Structure 1
Amino acid sequence: MPKRPSVQTTAAPLIPESPTYDKLRDAAAGCRACPLWETATRTVFGEPVGRPHGGPRVMLVGEQPGDQEDREGRPFVGPSGRLLDEALEAAGIDRSQVYVTNTVKHFKWKGEEGGRRLHAKPTTTEIRACLPWLAAELRVFRPDVLVCLGATAAQALLGKDFRVTRQRGEPVDSDWARIVVATVHPSSILRAPDPEARERQLDAFIDDLRAVARLIHGLGASGEGAHASP
Structure 2
Amino acid sequence: MSCADAPPAVTHTLPDAGPDPYDASPYVPQRGGLPAHRRAAAVCRGCPLFEHATQTVFGKGDPSARIVVVGEQPGDQEDRQGEPFVGPAGRLLRKALREAGIDVDAAYLTNVVKHFKFSQEGPGKRRIHKAPSLREMSACRPWLIAELNLVRPDVVVALGATAGKALVGGSFRVTRDRGALIPMADEDGGRHVVATIHPSAVLRANDREAAYAGLLADLKVAAKALE
Is the TM value for this pair above 0.5? yes
Match of 2:221 in 1: 211
- Assess if the C-alpha contact under 8 Å between 1:63 and 1:149 holds in 2: yes
Q: 2:79 aligns with which of 70, 75, 81?
A: 70
Tell me by how many angstroms 1:154 deviates.
0.4
- Assess if the C-alpha contact under 8 Å between 2:60 and 2:110 holds in 1: yes
Q: Which amino acid is the alignment partner of residue 38 of structure 1? A: E
Tell me by how many angstroms 1:204 deviates.
1.1
Tell me by how many angstroms 1:73 deviates.
0.4
Is 1:199 equivalent to 2:206 in the alignment? Answer: no
Is 1:130 equivalent to 2:140 in the alignment? Answer: yes
Match of 1:141 in 2: 151
- Assess if the C-alpha contact under 8 Å between 1:28 and 1:43 holds in 2: yes
The SS at the match of 1:213 is helix
Q: Which amino acid is the alignment partner of residue 202 of structure 1? A: Y
Matches within 5 A, 1:43-192: 43-48=56-61, 50=62, 55-113=64-122, 116-174=126-184, 175-176=186-187, 178-192=191-205
Distance in 2 (CA, whole Å) between partners of 1:168 and 1:75 is: 22
Q: Deviations over 1:107-131 (max 9, x none)?
A: 0001135564100011111111100
Tell me by how many angstroms 1:8 deviates.
3.7
The SS at the match of 1:182 is strand
Tell me by how many angstroms 1:7 deviates.
3.9
Q: Which amino acid is the alignment partner of residue 135 of structure 2? A: T
Tell me by how many angstroms 1:13 deviates.
1.1
- Assess if the C-alpha contact under 8 Å between 1:19 and 1:136 holds in 2: no
User: Normalised by the size of structure 2, how large is the TM-score?
Assistant: 0.87
Distance in 2 (CA, whole Å) between partners of 1:210 and 1:25 is: 30
Q: Which amino acid is the alignment partner of residue 34 of structure 1? A: C
Match of 2:15 in 1: none
- Assess if the C-alpha contact under 8 Å between 2:21 and 2:48 holds in 1: no
Q: Deviations over 1:156-201 (max 9, x none)?
A: 22111111101101001224561211110000000012xxx10111
User: Which 4+ stretches in 1 moved above 6 angstroms?
Assistant: none
- Assess if the C-alpha contact under 8 Å between 2:183 and 2:193 holds in 1: yes
Matched residues, number: 206
**RMSD of Structure 2 on Structure 1 (CA):** 1.5
Q: Percent identity?
A: 52
User: Normalised by the size of structure 1, how large is the TM-score?
Assistant: 0.86
Distance in 1 (CA, whole Å) between partners of 2:146 and 2:38 is: 11
- Assess if the C-alpha contact under 8 Å between 1:19 and 1:140 holds in 2: no
The SS at the match of 2:183 is coil
Distance in 2 (CA, whole Å) between partners of 1:180 and 1:6 is: 33
Match of 1:27 in 2: 40
Tell me by how many angstroms 1:141 deviates.
0.3
Residue segments in structure 1 that go unaligned for 5+ positions in a row: 218-230
Match of 1:36 in 2: 49
- Assess if the C-alpha contact under 8 Å between 1:44 and 1:73 holds in 2: yes
Distance in 2 (CA, whole Å) between partners of 1:199 and 1:133 is: 34
Q: Which has more radius of gyration?
A: 2
